[in-house]
């Protein structure tokens, strides 16, 4: 979930292999359905995560419309959980918004990575792509576009649309299911810990390099040291400290010639 | 939670617009501009910095125990991270953490 893509579309690639020939031969309609089938496995994570958000947000005191407001208008799970957690801590509005945006900063990186591949889309298409640009649609499409660099813009758009439909639709529906179900869940179940477990589970597989470990460690240490600050403020200091640490360690451990 | 409906909707709408603009930034407005190397570096580490920083205090001082450190929750967090690092599988890590938590809460009363 933390891809570090640096796409360099190269249109002088050697002749396509069999898989590539197949991808290139797809009509936009076929590419759309291919996108759908490729996205299906991600539902194993998306559906429970969305149900959980519905339940947790309802338990926190949001009504169904507000819960759905998050899943339809924000459409970014980790930041939705962050906002609800900070709402529960009675953090100031501005702190909640900044924290949510901090969680979503990586989306700017996704946008930059996809841009070379989707340059020829219309402004309206770009707006729809931006709306549906979540971790999973990004991961799916960037690997597909890089694998088959000669796809036409329509094939790329259709593939993205197929994935987005399968991932974003169920995100909203499952949120709604969770929000309606939320009231039925007894209070003594330790749901408070659903968020920490989910976030830790998302983070752990990303800890591949020394730089990732350092970023994570510094962020945790700072967050614990600053825990006495007004709610949410510690996060806004700890997170940039961690990010800077990761960047510095990466710069030191990687030879400069490596782009 | 003390937030008013107005405050909640403000958060939803501003966060929604802001998130959209982050996603749209390069596709829409910034076009062909290359991100400076140091910005890309910082962005790469947002998830591994932001999410643990958010979670750490919740693990060590859980609200559900009124801020008292709880062995079951520490063990559950440890199990989640361990399985996540070893298997690289998000779902398995969640299952490991959840079953550790409920198992220990049941055993420890």
> Tell me, what's the ipTM?
0.85
Q: Do A176 and A59 sit in the same domain of this protein?
A: yes
pLDDT at A45 over 90: no
- Given an 8 Å threshold on Cβ–Cβ distance, is B47 in contact with A190? no
Better-predicted residue by pLDDT, A44 or A9: A44
Confidence of residue A189 (pLDDT cuts 50, 70, 90): low
Nearest to A2 among B25, B48, B82 (CB): B48
Length of chain A (residues): 259
User: Given CA atoms A41, A215, A200, A92 in this order, what sign does their dihedral have?
Assistant: negative
To the nearest whole Å, the CA of A21 is away from the closest chain B CA by: 28
Structural domain for A218, as ranges: 207-259
The token duo for A76 is 């970014």
Q: Do A161 and A124 sit in the same domain of this protein?
A: yes
Tell me the chain B residues in contact with residue A186 when contact means C-beta distances shorter than 8 Å. Answer: none
Q: Do A122 and A228 sit in the same domain of this protein?
A: no
- Is residue A65 included in any domain, yes or no? yes
CA distances from B18 to A104, A105, B21 (A): 9, 10, 5
Buried b (16+ CB within 10 A) or exposed e, B19-29: bbbbbbbbbbe
pLDDT at A38 over 70: yes
pLDDT digits (tens, 9 = 90+) for B67-93: 889 999 999 999 999 999 999 887 899
Whole-prediction pTM value? Answer: 0.76
- Is residue A127 included in any domain, yes or no? yes
CB A82 within 8 A of CB A231: no
pLDDT digits (tens, 9 = 90+) for A72-102: 999 998 899 999 989 998 999 999 999 999 8
Q: What is the dihedral of CA A183, A185, A191, A192, to 10 degrees?
A: 40
- Given an 8 Å threshold on Cβ–Cβ distance, is A220 in contact with B93? no
- Is residue A123 included in any domain, yes or no? yes
CB B38 within 8 A of CB A247: yes
pLDDT at A5 over 50: no
Task: Determine the Cα–Cα distance for residues B42 and A229; give it in Å rounded to an integer.
Answer: 24
Q: Do A134 and A246 sit in the same domain of this protein?
A: no
pLDDT digits (tens, 9 = 90+) for A227-259: 887 667 788 889 889 999 999 999 998 765 444
- Given an 8 Å threshold on Cβ–Cβ distance, is B43 in contact with A222? no
């Amino acid at each position: 979930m933390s891809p570090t893509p640096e796409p360099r579309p190269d249109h002088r690639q050697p002749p396509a292999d069999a898989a590539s020939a197949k991808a290139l031969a797809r009509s936009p309609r076929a590419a759309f359905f291919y996108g759908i089938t490729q996205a299906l496995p991600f539902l194993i994570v998306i559906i429970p995560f969305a149900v959980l958000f519905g339940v947790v947000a309802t338990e926190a005191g949001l009504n169904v419309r507000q819960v759905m407001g998050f899943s339809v208008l924000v459409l970014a799970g980790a930041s939705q959980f962050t906002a609800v957690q900070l709402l529960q801590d009675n953090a100031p509005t501005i702190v909640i918004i900044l924290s949510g945006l901090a969680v979503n900063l990586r989306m700017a990186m996704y946008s930059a990575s996809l841009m070379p591949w989707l340059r020829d889309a219309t402004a309206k298409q770009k707006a729809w792509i931006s709306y549906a640009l979540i971790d999973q649609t990004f991961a799916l499409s960037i690997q597909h576009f890089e694998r088959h660099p000669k796809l036409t813009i329509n094939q790329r758009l259709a593939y993205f649309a197929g994935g987005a439909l399968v991932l974003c639709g169920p995100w909203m529906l499952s949120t709604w299911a969770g929000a309606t179900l939320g009231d039925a869940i007894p209070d003594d179940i330790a749901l408070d810990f659903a968020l920490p477990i989910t976030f830790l589970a998302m983070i752990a597989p990303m800890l591949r390099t020394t730089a990732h470990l350092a970023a994570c460690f510094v962020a945790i240490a700072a967050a614990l040291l600053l825990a006495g600050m007004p709610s949410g403020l510690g996060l806004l200091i700890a997170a940039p400290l961690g990010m800077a640490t990761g960047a510095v360690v990466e710069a030191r451990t990687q030879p400069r010639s490596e782009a | 939670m003390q937030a008013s409906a107005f405050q909640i909707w403000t958060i939803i709408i501003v966060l929604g617009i802001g998130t959209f603009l982050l996603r749209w930034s390069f596709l829409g407005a910034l076009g062909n501009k290359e991100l400076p190397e140091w910005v890309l570096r910082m962005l790469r580490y947002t998830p591994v910095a932001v999410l643990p920083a958010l979670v750490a205090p919740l693990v060590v001082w859980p609200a559900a125990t009124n801020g008292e450190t709880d062995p079951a929750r520490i063990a559950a967090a440890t199990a989640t991270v361990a399985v996540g690092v070893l298997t690289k599988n998000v779902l398995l890590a969640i299952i490991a953490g959840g079953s550790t938590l409920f198992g220990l809460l049941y055993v420890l009363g």
